[in-house]
Amino acid sequence: MNQSDVIHVELGERRYPIYIGEDLLKDSDLLASHLTGGQVVVVTNETVAPLYLSQILDALASKPCVTVVTLPDGEQYKTWETLGSIFDQVLADRHNRTTTFIALGGGVVGDITGFAAACYQRGVDFIQVPTTLLAQVDSSVGGKTAVNHPLGKNMIGAFYQPKAVLIDTRSLSTLGDREFAAGMAEVIKYGLIADSAFYEWLLANKSLLKNRDPVALKQAITRSCELKAEVVASDERESGRRAILNLGHTFGHAIETFSGYGAWLHGEAVAAGMVLALKLSSLRGAATEHDLADLEALLSYFGLPTGAPVDMSLGDFMSLMALDKKVQDGRLRFVLLEGLGSAIVVSDVTEQELSRIIA
Ligand code: NAD
Ligand code: GLY
């Protein structure tokens, strides 16, 4: 691979590479270069396993102890109970502290595997091998790991960075259109919060992207990872700037919890949430009607929702958003735009403003 296929997340002694390319799943040398011991745990799910597990296992053929944990598929299984089932199998196979966990799948598998790696014997190495667009551009990078609680999404977890992220862009060929669109929501987010030129590029290249043109897609993934890596390196544990990555998420998490985990894909809820965030920004004069119309058209083009569930009231939003991790001292925090390509976090949004955007 050439240098341009590698981005580094600059976190000092926890610095790690993100590799982006075709057929990386088959690159046994690349994978091996990030494994320290002879023990490996591959965590995947019942949908991804038949598609890509054999490629990873071929690449691990020289390892004497490989345990495969195949989880049921779905956000509703991103739970404490599923986490326990991973430990059951890993302990039964006597994995020690030199083992490496590999997350092979979308964001659900990545988040739960990362959390399992953070907890197992107080922390073992892990590698992210994301296979959805959302996981490739967002969840596999930055070390946020978690499981859901019935009272709130991602409420139990840890910041725990992987040793490496291997993005095989070819794995997107089997992804359903709905899941692909959900990933595009996060790609669009990066343009809105951090790079207006990238946002313009997305508007101009939406048709190539929707058709999954490999060159355009790799460009979108690479730019998204660069932007995420830069934000994470500047504020790993979200004490400040990293919160801008949550554009639309305060609303989105409330939508996901309201609808029941799994009913809306995370990216779909973020899409609807970004429209609400832009409406708030527009109330404050930081976005125009034109910006809003462009965003709605772009999201719709990918088949993404542009509004909250019709039966979700302001009261539903208020009670669910009160549980958001971004609540500080009883005040809700929202990410708003200052203009295209620039975002800020505010904590002074009034219920009156919310009532104007949540019909
Ligand atoms: P997902 O993991 O549920 O994957 C979506 C669907 O695609 C699943 O059915 C999965 O089995 C299937 N799939 C995965 N790869 C496939 C492939 N190559 N071909 C065919 N099907 C495939 O959902 P997601 O959108 O990847 O991730 C959403 C999760 O990520 C949420 O739990 C969200 O909270 C989390 N997330 C975490 C972060 C973070 O920073 N840690 C950021 C964003 C989202
Ligand atoms: N997805 C938000 C973050 O990683 O901070």
Mean pLDDT over 286-306 rounds to 97
| Location of each CATH 1.20.1090.10 domain in the chain | 183-358
Q: Quick one: pLDDT band at residue 359, thresholds 50, 70, 90? A: confident
Count of beta carbons in the 10 Å neighbourhood of residue 244? 22
Give per-residue pLDDT as tens, 235-271. 999 999 999 999 999 999 999 989 987 799 999 999 9
Give per-residue pLDDT as tens, 202-241. 999 999 999 999 999 999 999 999 999 999 999 999 999 9
Q: In angstroms, what is the span from residue 81 Cα to ligand 2's centroid?
A: 24
In one-letter notation, the amino acid at residue 209 is L
Q: Which residue has the tokens 């970004």?
A: 274
The atom number, within ligand 1, closest to the CA of 132 reads 15
CA angle 35, 58, 51 (to 5 degrees): 110
Domain 3-174 class? Answer: alpha beta
User: In this model, does residue 65 exceed pLDDT 90?
Assistant: yes
Count of beta carbons in the 10 Å neighbourhood of residue 142? 23
pLDDT score recorded for residue 186:
98
* Residue 337 tokens, joined: 């735009």
pLDDT over 90, % of the chain: 91
The CATH classification of domain 183-358, taken from the options 1.20.1090.10, 3.30.465.10, 1.10.490.10, 3.60.10.10: 1.20.1090.10
pLDDT score recorded for residue 301:
98
Read off the pTM.
0.95
Residue 86 contacts residue 112 (beta carbons within 8 Å): yes
pLDDT score recorded for residue 195:
98
pLDDT score recorded for residue 326:
67
Mean pLDDT over 173-189 rounds to 98
Half-sphere exposure of 270 (CA within 13 A, CB side): 23
The atom number, within ligand 1, closest to the CA of 182 reads 25
* Average pLDDT over the chain, rounded to an integer: 95
pLDDT score recorded for residue 325:
67
Count of beta carbons in the 10 Å neighbourhood of residue 128? 30
Q: Say yes or no: CB of residue 279 within 6 Å of ligand 2.
A: no
Distance CA(181)–CA(167), nearest Å, equals 18
Q: Which residues are catalytic?
A: 122, 144, 186, 228, 238, 242, 246, 249, 253, 266
User: In this model, does residue 3 exceed pLDDT 50?
Assistant: no
